[in-house]
Amino acid sequence: MEKEQNLGDKESLSEDQKNKDASNEVVSQNIDQKSEEKNSEEKISELEDKIARTLAEMENQRRRFEKEKEEAFEYGGFAFAKEALNLIDNLERSKQILKNDEAIKNSEALKKTLEHLDIINKDLISIFAKNNIKPIECLNKKLDPNFHQAMMEIEDNEKEAGTIIQEIQKGFTIKERLLRPSLVGVSKKPGNLENNKENKENEQNLENK
């Protein structure tokens, strides 16, 4: 009887162990399943992030391309336009040379020649204007480093200091971009240099005392 009881107890323990093992296996499977699901979600999230970054980069590249294409279309002739300004400069130099030539000064031939040169100059300015190349108006305006380059200072009692009173070389813009600055002479109040020297001498005298 005892043997049968012991066998029954062993079988009962064996069944309990089996149940526990089965339960542990189910738990383990659930954990593995959740881990796999989590890994899958992480992978999906990573893929979504990569796709989003790739799309953003593609959009940035598209915008850069559009901007470069627009600038190339609008300012593609920048270098050519800058070189073409030499024509206007040469015409102006030719006019000055002819005006200073004593042999033809005040002659009818000189007058007609200058008139023709003025017509050519106006035609060039008109052609430039049609292509959004425009001269910078600078006389009697305050010096603006964005558009003007001061080449000299000229004493003037009537003008406020820093006012442009002489245009040495005409400047131009192409659309909103500077093609070349105007070379100008600006006004200054007479005696500024002398006053500065006197002030420095007075300061030195005070220091010596």
Lowest-confidence region among 32-36, 116-120, 150-154, 184-188: 32-36
Give the residue, 176 or 185, on which the prediction is more confident: 185
Average confidence (pLDDT) over 165-171: 90
Rounded Cα–Cα distance for residues 195 and 163 (Å): 20
Rounded Cα–Cα distance for residues 180 and 84 (Å): 12
Cβ-based neighbours of 169, under 8 Å, separated by 6 or more: 89, 182, 183
Phi, psi at residue 145, to the nearest 5°?
Answer: -60, -20
For 124-166, what is the HEC assignment? HHHHHHHCCEEECCCCCCECCCCCEEEEEEEECCCCCCCEEEE
- Correct CATH for 136-209 of 2.30.22.10, 2.40.30.60, 3.90.1150.10, 3.30.70.270: 2.30.22.10
Is residue 1 pLDDT above 60, yes or no? no
Q: What is the pLDDT of residue 83?
A: 84
Chain segment 74-126, per-residue pLDDT in tens = 666 777 888 888 888 888 888 888 888 888 888 888 888 889 989 988 898 88
Which DSSP letter does residue 181 get? P
Chain segment 20-74, per-residue pLDDT in tens = 555 555 555 555 565 565 576 777 777 777 777 877 877 777 777 666 656 655 6
Is residue 10 pLDDT above 50, yes or no? no
Q: What is the pLDDT of residue 149?
A: 92
Is residue 3 pLDDT above 80, yes or no? no
Q: What is the pLDDT of residue 148?
A: 93
Is residue 7 pLDDT above 50, yes or no? no
Is residue 18 pLDDT above 50, yes or no? yes
Reduced to 3 states, what is the DSSP secondary structure of residue 5? helix
**Closest by Cα among 87, 69, 175 to 131:** 175
